[in-house]
Amino acid sequence: MSGVDKTAKARQAHLYDMIMIGVLVVPVLSFAVMSLLLVFKA
């Protein structure tokens, strides 16, 4: 039983890691896209 619980906890921790990475990456990507659009428009 403890093994199943550990894998579930690990999966949840991995999910939290992915969410944190997404929160950090999305603004950077959107900023890069906006600057690229500005460069191509100019």
Structure confidence at residue 36 (pLDDT)? 96
CA dihedral (28, 29, 30, 35) in degrees, to 10, reads: 90
0.85 cut: is pTM over it? no
Number of domains the chain contains: 1
The neighbour count for residue 39, using CB atoms within 10 Å, is 8
What digits encode the pLDDT tens for the residues 1-42?
566 677 888 999 999 999 999 999 999 999 999 999 999 997
Structure confidence at residue 21 (pLDDT)? 97
Structure confidence at residue 2 (pLDDT)? 62
Structure confidence at residue 8 (pLDDT)? 86
Domain that holds residue 14: 1-42
Structure confidence at residue 42 (pLDDT)? 78
